[in-house]
Amino acid sequence: MQTKSRDEEMLCKIYKDCKMGVESMSKLLPDISSQDMKNMMAAQLQSYQNFASRASELLARNGKAAGDVGLFEKLPAEMGMAISRAADRSDSKTAELMINGYVMGVTELKKQLADVSGISEQTAKLADDLLQFQLGAICDMKRFL
């Protein structure tokens, strides 16, 4: 059995995290009442799609494919989101959920970037770009709390 390189692991993780972000945001977006928040989330959704595409392209250059997010990976996030929104579907609650998701993403990326051995410059740049996007998105979402 062939093991994944650190570069491939990082790219797969970025791809899957971004795809989960896309799925979560796609489910939340229709319930947003504020047009300002809808516009911001639509732009963030597009950014996540772009990051996923960049990760997929880098993997493809090395003859690898990004795997889809499995049901068992999605289920805890989907259940948590459904439970949190069951009693409160407000834009403020949605902003809180988004911030929590971004914070988890930032934490994971920072852990991965702590040791960049075996990671290409392009992959490290993509991870850093994603990190900066997520930090900015946290700040953007705070105004809806």
Quick one: CATH architecture of 6-63+71-142? Up-down Bundle (1.20)
Q: Are 57 and 15 in contact (CB under 8 A)?
A: no
Q: What is the mean pLDDT of each run of 10 residues along the chain (145 residues)?
A: 73 91 88 93 96 93 69 53 66 90 92 85 94 97 94
pLDDT at position 55: 94
25 in Cβ contact with 138 (< 8 Å): no
What span, in angstroms and rounded, lies between the C-alpha atoms of 111 and 142?
24
- 91 vs 120: CA distance, rounded Å: 39
* pLDDT at residue 48, as a whole number: 95
pLDDT at 137: 96
Q: What span, in angstroms and rounded, lies between the C-alpha atoms of 57 and 59?
A: 5
The Cα 38–Cα 61 span in angstroms is: 35
What is the pLDDT at residue 83? 58
State the pTM of this model: 0.85
Residues 82, 31 contacting (CB under 8 angstroms): no
Hey, CA dihedral for 22, 24, 25, 30, is it positive or negative? Answer: positive
What's the alpha-carbon Rg for the chain, to the nearest Å?
A: 16
